[in-house]
């Protein structure tokens, strides 16, 4: 599929898809006319990349992690090294802290909303 279709199907800009290629996160072949051509499995790959960016991982860390992840067409091509596993455990701990902080922020907002509703009902 061409880059425009991949962009539409994933909700990711063409510019981002080119960036993913430059960083080694995504691969394409070229048509005789020089256009990028992506396999069907690129849709899942782009979605997975977006999820990892949303989790706060850098493109360099994603590039190291992707070969260790199962793709739609089979199992992982590599096993994570102990060093990468340690780094990922640290990332998971960071995400857990962020979740805790977000829940605390939501609780504070709930308290303010409840207080405002009680005040308004008087």
Rounded CA separation 114/95 (Å): 28
65 shares its domain with 106? no
CA distances to 38, 62, 105 from 96, rounded to whole Å, are 35, 19, 14
What crossing angle do the helices spanning 3-10 and 14-22 adopt, rounded to 10°?
A: 110
108 shares its domain with 97? yes
Residue 76 C-alpha from the chain's centroid? 17
70 shares its domain with 92? no
61, 78, 95 - which closes a domain:
78
74 shares its domain with 85? no
Query: SS3 helix, strand, coil % of the chain, rounded to 5?
Result: 65, 5, 30
Sign of the torsion angle spanned by Cα atoms 6, 10, 11, 14? negative
pLDDT per residue of the chain (122 residues) written in tens, 0 to 9: 999 999 999 999 999 999 999 999 999 999 999 999 999 999 999 999 999 999 889 999 999 888 887 665 555 566 778 888 898 899 899 999 999 999 999 999 999 999 999 888 77
Q: Which token pair is 62? A: 């994603």
Say if pTM beats, i.e. exceeds, 0.85: no
Residue 68 belongs to domain with CATH number: 1.10.1660.10
10 shares its domain with 68? yes
Task: Give the pLDDT of residue 88.
Answer: 86
Domain count, the chain: 2
Rounded CA separation 10/16 (Å): 11
45 shares its domain with 22? yes
Note down the domain range covering 36. Answer: 1-78
16 shares its domain with 52? yes
């Amino acid at each position: 599929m061409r880059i425009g279709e991949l962009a539409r199907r994933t909700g990711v800009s063409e510019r981002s898809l080119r960036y993913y290629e430059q960083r080694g996160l995504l691969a394409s072949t070229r048509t005789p006319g020089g256009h990028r051509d992506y396999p069907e499995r690129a849709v899942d790959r782009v979605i997975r990349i977006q999820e990892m960016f949303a989790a706060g991982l850098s493109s360099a860390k994603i590039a190291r992690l992707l070969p260790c992840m199962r793709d739609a067409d089979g199992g992982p091509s590599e096993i994570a090294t102990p060093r990468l596993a340690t780094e990922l455990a640290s990332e998971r701990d960071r995400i857990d802290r962020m979740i805790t902080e977000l829940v605390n922020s939501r609780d504070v907002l709930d308290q303010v909303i409840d207080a405002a509703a009680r005040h308004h009902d008087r």
